[in-house]
A and B are shown apart, each in its own frame.
Chain A
Amino acid sequence: MSAENSPAERVAIGISFGNSYSSIAFTTGDGKAEVIANEDGDRQIPSILSYVEGEELHGGQAKSQLVRNAQNTVAYYRDFLGQEFKSIDPSPCHQSAHPVQHESTIAFKIRDTTEEKENAVTVSIITTRHLRRLRNSASDYLGKSVNAAVITVPTNFADAQKDALNKAAKEAGIEVLQFINEPVAAVLAYDAQPEAKLADKIVVVADLGGTRSDVAVVASRGGIYTILATIHDYEVSGFQLDQVLIDYFAKEFIKKHKSGGDPRENDRSLAKLKLECEAVKKALSIGSTANFSVESLANGIDFTSPINRTRFELLGNKIFAAFARLVAHAVEKANLDPLDISEIILAGGNSHTPKTAAAIKSVFPTTTTVLAPSTSPAAINPSELSVRGAAIQASLIQEFDVEDIEQSTHPMVTVTPHLSRAVGVLCISPDAATGKFHAIVDAETPLPVRRTAIIATPREGGDVLVKIAEAARHIKVTKPQPKSKPAKDDDDSEDDSDDESEEEEDEELREQTWQVGAVLSEAALRGLKKGAKVEVQINIAADLSVNAIYREVGGKGGVRGILQGGGAKAQNGSA
C-alpha cells in the first residue's frame, strides 16, 4: 500500500471509532476542534454498513436497514478487530449480521454485491469500508483529500487490535499518526479550551457508550496525563437503557392490543422497537416528555405511547445506580477517595441522560465537579469529546516525521518515575504536629518537575524557616459526637433526641488532610520586610534529587539548596 505521506503532504483529522457511533473532526487554523457532519448531516455517525442490491449504505441510512435487511447489515464490530472468534462476545450483533469464524479471523456472511450469493466479508474489510466512508466525508467537507488521522481507542485495546485497525485504516488510505486512549482524548478536549487553566488534579473520565462502559482515573499534572486505574464493563451500557424502554413499550402495547402479540417476539417488530426506543431515550435527554410512535409495530398495528422523564428514570433506576457504582469502583481501584477527585468528565452518548449525571454526582462530594450537559454549563458535548481530543492531537503532531512520533511514544520516553508522596512546605510551625502542610508538588506527578510557590510570612517579617517535607494524603473521618443521652433524666424529650442522633449517625465528617512524613530540607531566609512574600522554586529530577531556590519576592539574593537523589543519604550540613 501507499507509503507514509511526508509531513508536508499530510491532511490529518481526528477519528473516534466506536462500536455504536463514529465521528470525524479537524482543527481549525486558530486551534479549535470542529466536528464534521457527514452528507446526512450527522456528527454521530452510526458505525454501520448495509448492502441493498449491491449498493453500500453507511451510517444512519445503514442503521435504518436493521428493520428490513438485518442480515445484510453489519453493526457493532469494532471490538472484534484483531481478535480470535473464540474470544469475542457476539451478543451485540443479535439483530444484525452475525459474526462467524473465518480462517483465523472473523467475518460476516452478507450479500454485498448484486449477485445472489453470500460473501464472507472480514471485520478488517468492513472496518476499511467504514473508515473510507468517514475519510470521504471529511475530504468532501474540507475540500482536500484527507490522508492521515489520529484515532481513539479504548485503554484496553490490545496491540493486536491496534495492528488490525492500523492495517484497515491504511487500506482506506489513512495513515494512522497515532492511536490515543479515549479517556485521555476527552481530558485533552477540555484542556484545549481557551479558558482552561492548567492545574494539578485527579480527573475521572466515565465513558458510557452503547455496548460498553469504560472508566479511567487520570492524574493530570501540569497538562501531563497518567492513567492510574481503569474499569471496563460490557453489561452496564446504553443497550440496557434501551432495553428497559423496549420492555416498557412492549408491555404497554400488549396491554392495549391484546391480539397484537408481543412485539419482542418478532424480529422486525423488535428492530423497530429498538430503534424507536433509542430515539425516545435521546429525546428524554433534552425534553421532559417524549412520544413513542411506530407505524405497524406488530401485526400491522400502529402504536403511539407517551412517556415522561420521571418514568424513564424509575425504569432505568438500577442501571443509573450501576453507572455510579462503576465510577466509584474505579476510584477505589486507584486507591483514592471520592474527596480526591476534582472533576468527573462524562463522555459517551449516555452521558447526555440527566439521570446518569445525577446518579454519579450523588456518590461524590460537592467539591467534585461533574462535567455533563445537565450538570455544568461548561460541559462539552459528551459524544464529541474523543474525536475533539483526537483532532487536537492530530494538529499537534501532523508535521512530525514518523520516526519522531514513534520515538516520542516509545516507553523510553513515556515510562517515567512519579512522586509517591506530595512535596510541600510546613506553614505556621516547623513542628509536624502543629504546623500546617501545604503541597507544592502533588503525589503522582511525573519527574522531572518544576513548581513554584509564593508563601506568606509572619506579620512582622523577620527571619523565617522554610521546611520542605513529604506528606501522604489522609482522609480524616470525624464521627458525630454521640449525643449526650438524657438517660438519667428520662423525661419525654427522649423520642426527639433519638431521632436526631439517628439522623446524624450517617453524617460523619470526611476531610482531606495530610500526614507529614520525612522532612527533606530546611532553609532560612533572614531579614524579611513586613508583609514580605517568599518564593520557593522546587525542581525534582528523575533521580529524585531536589534543587530548590528560596528568595524574598522582590528582594535580593536568596538561598539555594541541593538534595542528592538516589541511594546514599544526603549528609547533613554539606550542601
Chain B
Amino acid sequence: MATVQISLPLPVLPEGWSGEKDFKPVGQLSQATDRNIEPVGPHFLAHARRQRHKRTFSEDDR
C-alpha cells in the first residue's frame, strides 16, 4: 500500500502533557464487523498465506 501523505501539520504538544515513554492509551476501537473478503487477487493470496502460516506483515516482508 502506498503511504498516506498528510500535509496538514500535527498539533503542538500541549503544555504539561505527559505519558509513560511518551505514549498514552486512551480508548478502544469500536466493535469490528465480520465480513467475507473475496478470495481473489494477489493481495488476498498474500493475506491467506500470512493467515495460514500465522505470520505478521513484517515477518512476511522478510
Contact = CB atoms under 8 A, between A and B. Distances in A.
A407 B14 CA distance: 51
A290 interface: no
A436 interface: yes
A519 B10 CA distance: 15
Contacts of A180: 38-40
A482 interface: no
B36 A415 contact: yes
Contact of A521 (B1, B8, B25, B39): B25
Nearest to B41: A188
B32 A544 contact: yes
B21 interface: yes
A337 interface: no
Contacts of B8: 427-428, 436, 438, 455-456
A562 B28 CA distance: 11
A539 B30 CA distance: 16
Contacts of A407: 48, 52
Interface in A457-475: 457-459, 462-467, 470
A37 interface: no
A182 B44 CA distance: 16
Given A419-B32, A438-B6, A570-B28, A223 B23 contact: no
Interface string B22-62: 11111111111111111111111101101110001100000
Contact of B29 (A459, A540, A572): A540
Contact of A417 (B2, B9, B19, B32): B32
Contacts of A311: none
A414 B32 CA distance: 15
B61 to A, nearest CB: 10
Contact of A414 (B21, B26, B37, B57): B37
A420 B14 CA distance: 30
Interface residues of B, number: 49
Interface in A172-204: 178, 180-181, 184-185, 188, 191-192, 197-200
A446 B44 CA distance: 11
Nearest to B51: A413
A198 B1 contact: yes
Given A222-B1, A464-B10, A227 B28 contact: no
Interface stretch (A59-67, A158-166, A523-531): A523-531
B10 A423 contact: no
Contacts of A448: 50, 56-57
A470 B30 contact: yes
A519 B34 contact: no
Q: Identify whether the interface residues of A are mostly helix, strand, loop, or mixed.
A: strand
A518 B28 contact: yes
A450 B35 contact: no
Contact of B31 (A197, A228, A420): A420
B44 A463 contact: no
B23 A518 contact: no
Contact of A575 (B5, B9, B23, B31): B23
Contacts of B26: 518-522, 570, 572
A525 B23 CA distance: 9
Interface in A190-236: 191-192, 197-200, 222-228
Contacts of A570: 25-28
Nearest to B25: A570
A427 B3 CA distance: 17
Interface residues of A, number: 99
A134 B43 CA distance: 30
A452 B3 contact: yes
B18 to A, nearest CB: 8
Contacts of A523: 19, 22-24
A563 B28 contact: yes
Interface in A70-108: none
A392 B40 CA distance: 9
Contacts of B30: 420-421, 470, 517-518
Given A222-B1, A415-B34, A544 B28 contact: yes
* Most chain A C-beta atoms within 10 Å of own C-beta, residue among B7, B29, B47: B29
Contacts of B51: 413
Given A407-B52, A464-B11, A184 B40 contact: yes
Contacts of B40: 180-181, 184-185, 188, 225, 389, 393
B38 A184 contact: yes
Contact of A225 (B4, B19, B37, B48): B37
B52 A413 contact: yes
B23 A561 contact: yes
Contacts of B3: 452-454
A523 B3 CA distance: 20
A223 B41 contact: yes
A523 B40 CA distance: 37
Contacts of B2: 197-199
B22 A526 contact: yes
Contacts of B37: 224-226, 414, 416, 446
Given A428-B11, A462-B12, 14 more contacts: A188-B41, A192-B41, A198-B2, A225-B38, A415-B34, A417-B33, A418-B33, A418-B35, A428-B9, A438-B6, A464-B9, A544-B28, A546-B29, A564-B28
Interface of A: 178, 180-181, 184-185, 188, 191-192, 197-200, 222-228, 389, 392-393, 396-397, 407-409, 411, 413-421, 423, 425-430, 435-436, 438-440, 444, 446-448, 450-459, 462-467, 470, 517-526, 534, 539-540, 544, 546, 559-565, 569-575
Closest 4 CB pairs of A and B: A223-B43, A417-B32, A427-B8, A561-B23
20 contacts: A191-B41, A393-B40, A407-B52, A419-B32, A420-B33, A444-B35, A446-B35, A452-B4, A455-B8, A457-B9, A464-B12, A519-B26, A522-B24, A522-B26, A534-B10, A546-B29, A573-B19, A574-B20, A575-B23, A575-B24
